[in-house]
Amino acid sequence: MCRFRGLLLVFFLTVAAVAQHPVRARHAMVVAQEPLAADVGLEVLRDGGNAIDAAVAVAFALAVTHPAAGNLGGGGFLLARFADGRTAFVDFRERAPKRAHRNLYLDAEGRPTGESITGWRACGVPGTVRGLELAHGNYGRKSWAALIAPAVRLAREGFPVSWQLSESLESAKALAASEESHRIFQRNGKYYEPGELLVQAELAATLERIARGGAAEFYEGETARRLADQMERHGGLITLEDLRDYRAVERPVLRGAYRGYEILTAPPPSSGGIGLLQMLGMLEGSGYERAGFGAAATIHHVAEVMRRFYADRSEFLADPDYFRVPLGRLLDPAYLARRRRSIEPDRATPSERLRPGEAAEPERSQTTHLAIVDPEGNAVALTYTLNGAFGSGVTVAGLGFLLNNEMDDFSVKPGTPNMFGLVQGEANAIEPGKRPLSSMTPTIVLRDGRLFLVLGAPGGSRIINGVLQVLLNLVDFTMNIQDAVDRPRFHHQWKPDTLFLEDGFSPDTIELLGRRGHRISRIASVAVVEAIRAGEGRLEGATDRRGHGKAAGY
């Protein structure tokens, strides 16, 4: 009977998650990729917490209920816009350990070994706990321990495994790398099935220590010592010194505009914000939208814009603490106009012929996103990740959390594709202490100085294009928020020279794109966008049909 009730719970959660209309509320909204975590955030807001408090609580809860991406052992970005007009951007991206070097993952013949993807040597120094504490300390108001308490409860008491979690565990090749991961996520030698109760007592104990001791516990206390000890025993790179030296940082928010809307987004080491602004800059004034949504001419033009940004990404973007990113020139309207003029209306540009622009100055992815608006009008977009699904696959014995495989986001070998097929250059080569380039694109949009949109997505290299298309659907094609999120999407990233299409585009459109010279391939999903639209005295939350999340408001 207990198992039957669990299955019923999963069924109703799933039905709620896939409703094809936005959730509407007057006061506050939380959109997250896992329903239990979304409920945690809403309860924090009901209890007087602000958007930062809710984001911290949801992030810790996702580390329990969405282990493929929610995490303590990864990193990410938090973007906030407060009701008084202030903005903040917290960079808690992972860093390369001090023992890392540019040829770390190459064999004697200079070929990538694959160690950047799976196992102990794939891990960058985690940033999540330090980043959440920085955001909370500067902008939150509820107690740190109170915000972690729901995650502790979910880990200690357990929760019914959803169909989605069960399927992701079954398909996660990375987990084969760790007996400890098997011990936690398997029962009697088999991964947990839908409706079974997943209890994570060791993770609960780790969370309780962090609740008592703050980030210092994770980076300097018992948790740090255990992590460093196991790294040494398994041939990993992270040392106690790496953990003690890790710092999250605040960076200036990247700002731009599109058709009168103000865009607030992520600066480097994210490539997402600059990519979003570059592509919007190339599209504005082009008249691409006149053919209408889903038309071959529309897809062709936007895909060519995508192609040009990703070519620039390969050359000019990296951790700004290690590389002089030519931000001004990449966003210069004259430069973007030149890139736009190079687009032929009836012919795809072969990627082999398209090089990064002259902008330099002399000298399955698994991420998760949450969007929150509180009753005061404060807004948060937070994206964080383990990189691949379940990260490196490694769970730290006795601590209960998975570690990232973020080292693969560096240029392991410049010019060679990473696990997402991205070709990257020298700017993103491995260096000790450096943060790898990211595609995470937390974004907030204002209209006439007022909050209009909060959005972001998981999806690896496809995140930027997913966020772009939802924004275009709202602004240029005047869709409601749920339609804007749910409509079929496409993706081009320069290399491979392939236009990836989701299901839902007409056969005639696909044929016309082929005639223009596009190499077409099907793809299951171009990112999983979570969004909140504000205006007219209400909030509308949309969770993507491609995922299994929840929008919750009051």
Task: Show which residues are catalytic.
Answer: 367
What pLDDT sits at residue 12?
Answer: 37
Q: What is the pLDDT of residues 53-93, one digit of tens each?
A: 999 999 999 999 999 999 999 999 999 999 999 999 999 99
Q: What is the pLDDT of residues 438-470, one digit of tens each?
A: 999 999 999 999 999 999 999 889 999 999 999
pLDDT-based confidence at 514, cuts 50/70/90?
very high
- Residue 384 is which amino acid? Y
471 with 485: CB under 8 angstroms? no
- Structural domain boundaries, residue 54: 29-76+89-247+381-411
Q: Is the pLDDT of residue 3 over 60?
A: no
Mean pLDDT of 229-243: 97
Higher per-residue confidence, 503 vs 5:
503
Q: What is the pLDDT of residues 336-358, one digit of tens each?
A: 999 999 999 999 998 888 777 65
C-alpha count within 13 angstroms, C-beta hemisphere, residue 97? 26
Please check whether residue 110 lies inside any domain of the structure.
yes
Please check whether residue 304 lies inside any domain of the structure.
no
In DSSP terms, 252 is beta-bridged to none
Q: What is the pLDDT of residues 89-107, one digit of tens each?
A: 999 999 999 999 999 999 9
Minimum mean pLDDT among 47-51, 118-122, 151-155: which range? 118-122
Q: What is the pLDDT of residues 193-208, one digit of tens each?
A: 999 999 999 999 999 9
By CB atoms closer than 10 A (0-12, 13-18, 19+), residue 468 is buried
What pLDDT sits at residue 304?
Answer: 97
CA 139 to CA 3: how far, in whole Å? 42
Q: Tokens 């007219």 identify what position?
A: 536
Length of the chain: 554
**Which two tokens mark 298?**
């529309």
pLDDT-based confidence at 365, cuts 50/70/90?
low
Mean pLDDT of 128-140: 99
266 with 79: CB under 8 angstroms? yes
Please check whether residue 241 lies inside any domain of the structure.
yes
533 with 387: CB under 8 angstroms? no
Please check whether residue 127 lies inside any domain of the structure.
yes
Mean pLDDT of 363-389: 90
What pLDDT sits at residue 364?
Answer: 54
How many domains, in total, are found in the chain? 1
Q: Tokens 């639209």 identify what position?
A: 533
Q: Is the pLDDT of residue 4 over 60?
A: no
pLDDT-based confidence at 7, cuts 50/70/90?
very low
CA 275 to CA 161: how far, in whole Å? 37
Please check whether residue 19 lies inside any domain of the structure.
no
Q: Is the pLDDT of residue 11 over 70?
A: no
Please check whether residue 299 lies inside any domain of the structure.
no
Please check whether residue 464 lies inside any domain of the structure.
no
Q: Give, as one character, the DSSP assignment of residue 541.
A: E
Q: Is the pLDDT of residue 423 over 90?
A: no
Please check whether residue 405 lies inside any domain of the structure.
yes
Q: Is the pLDDT of residue 36 over 70?
A: yes
End-to-end CA gap in the chain: 33
- pTM for this predicted structure: 0.93
Q: Give, as one character, the DSSP assignment of residue 179.
A: H
What pLDDT sits at residue 357?
Answer: 60
Q: Is the pLDDT of residue 388 over 50?
A: yes
Backbone angles phi, psi at 382, to 5 degrees: -125, 125
Q: Is the pLDDT of residue 140 over 60?
A: yes
What pLDDT sits at residue 70?
Answer: 96
Q: Is the pLDDT of residue 536 over 50?
A: yes
Higher per-residue confidence, 284 vs 414:
284
Which of 423, 457, 437 is CA-nearest to residue 525?
457
CA 137 to CA 140: how far, in whole Å? 6
Backbone angles phi, psi at 539, to 5 degrees: -115, 145
pLDDT-based confidence at 426, cuts 50/70/90?
confident
